[in-house]
């Protein structure tokens, strides 16, 4: 099947309509100036504004994962995550919205009192199974499924992040949406554009790889910034998921695998654990551009593309995908915390004199 035919097949893919789309594409002129870039160098694709259940990238993936045909006869939906999991929050809300019971398997210590996503998860479903470690989640979900079916019900288990071939189709569609928005920008040049996305379970980046391949954006750079796992493992999952998603829509063409890179340089002490660089980047974004979302995973994406921007100078960086409940008290911002090459976060700085013609992007989330 040709890329054009596969795009039509993607458009016809069934989904449950949850997201408010298209999400905004914001010209981040003040952030660009704070980074000493030309005013048109940075853009933010705000997928935290997908709307449903406080938004985030999981909404798009659950639309194509929880299709009406897959839900036929299903009375219980089962998934997993940590206490501050955006996926678990959106998943529980989707189950309620679609009229199904939700069972969440949650690992890690819950905050006392519950706050953020932990509080929202408890509001959305009373059926939360607690396990100690991430490795315990899959066995616990399988046990929950067996229990439901032993009682005469039918359960559907959805992996963390909805990072499945079906879920990845949600971000293939998002890539088509972004391309359409950029067509209105006469300076849009895929060969000089870099898109940065936080990644862990690989579904978001896999979908974007498939979308870019269908659109034949052969010069585009896609960069995944790991929130936890080694880069090689994530890259392998991205390629595998993108290939399986391509098969679902009959695409047999070449995936632009060589245009995808993954870095694990910014993991720090682990998933959800902030780093000084991430705190500094978050403050700079808030104080220069008025973007105040502070979810744990995209925090680590920001110093990656800002450091790269300081070194080379791209055009675009497109923004948040995790929604809003992960916010916490703002960190201190001493100058020593700022990433190399970035202006101090307490002082966004004056407009830069350099005017680069090259371009770059950022997006991103756990279970991304």
- Give the range with max mean pLDDT: 49-58, 67-76, 292-301: 67-76
What is d(CA 114, CA 130) in angstroms, rounded to the nearest whole number? 14
pLDDT computed for residue 293 by the predictor = 55
Residue 50 has pLDDT above 90, yes or no: yes
Q: Let me know if residue 37 belongs to a domain.
A: yes
Average the pLDDT over 248-256 and give the result: 96
Percent of the chain with pLDDT over 90: 57
Residue 264 has pLDDT above 70, yes or no: yes
| Residue 185 backbone zone (phi > 0: left; psi -120 to 50: alpha; other: beta) | beta
| Structural domain count, the chain | 2
Mean pLDDT of the chain: 83
Q: Let me know if residue 258 belongs to a domain.
A: yes
pLDDT confidence band for 160 (50 / 70 / 90)? very high
Residue 223 β-bridge partners:
196, 261
Q: Residue 151: how many CB atoms within 10 A of its CB?
A: 10
Whether residue 307 sits in one domain with residue 175: yes
Whether residue 75 sits in one domain with residue 9: no
Residue 106 β-bridge partners:
81, 130
Parent domain of 97:
67-157
The tokens describing 260, both together, are 């995808």
Whether residue 269 sits in one domain with residue 329: yes
Whether residue 319 sits in one domain with residue 206: yes
What is d(CA 22, CA 241) in angstroms, rounded to the nearest whole number? 24
Given the DSSP bridges, would you call strands 101-107 and 194-199 parallel, antiparallel or unpaired? unpaired
């Amino acid at each position: 099947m040709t890329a054009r035919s596969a795009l039509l097949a993607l458009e016809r893919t069934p989904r449950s309509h949850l997201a408010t789309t298209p999400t905004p594409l914001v010209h981040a002129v003040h952030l660009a100036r704070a980074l000493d870039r030309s005013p048109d160098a940075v853009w933010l694709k705000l997928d935290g504004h997908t709307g449903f259940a406080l938004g985030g990238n999981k909404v798009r993936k659950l639309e194509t994962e929880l299709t009406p045909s897959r839900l036929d006869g299903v009375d219980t939906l089962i998934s997993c995550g940590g206490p501050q999991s955006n996926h678990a929050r959106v998943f529980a809300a989707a189950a309620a919205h679609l009229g199904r019971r939700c069972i969440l398997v949650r690992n890690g210590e819950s905050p006392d009192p519950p706050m953020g996503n932990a509080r929202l998860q408890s509001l959305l479903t009373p059926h939360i199974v607690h396990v100690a470690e991430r490795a315990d989640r899959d066995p616990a979900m399988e046990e929950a499924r067996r229990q439901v079916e032993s009682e005469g019900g039918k359960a559907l288990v959805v992996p963390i992040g909805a990072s499945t071939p079906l879920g990845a189709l949600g971000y293939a569609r998002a890539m088509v949406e972004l391309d359409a928005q950029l067509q209105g920008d006469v300076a849009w040049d895929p060969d000089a554009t870099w898109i940065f996305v936080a990644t862990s379970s690989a579904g978001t980046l896999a979908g974007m790889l498939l979308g870019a391949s269908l659109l034949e954006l052969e010069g585009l750079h896609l960069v995944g910034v790991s929130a936890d796992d080694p880069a090689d493992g994530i890259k392998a999952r991205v390629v595998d998921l993108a290939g399986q998603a391509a098969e679902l829509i009959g695409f047999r063409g070449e995936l632009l695998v060589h245009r995808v890179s993954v870095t694990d340089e910014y993991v720090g002490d682990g998933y959800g654990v902030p780093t000084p660089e991430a705190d500094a980047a978050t403050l700079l974004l808030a104080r220069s551009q008025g973007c105040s979302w502070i979810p744990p995973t995209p925090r680590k994406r920001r110093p990656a593309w800002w450091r790269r921007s300081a070194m080379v100078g791209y055009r675009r960086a497109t923004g948040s995908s995790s929604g809003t409940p992960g916010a916490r008290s703002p960190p201190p911002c001493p100058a020593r915390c700022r990433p190399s090459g970035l202006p101090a976060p307490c002082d966004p700085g004056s407009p830069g004199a350099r005017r680069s013609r090259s371009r770059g992007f950022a997006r991103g989330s756990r279970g991304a």
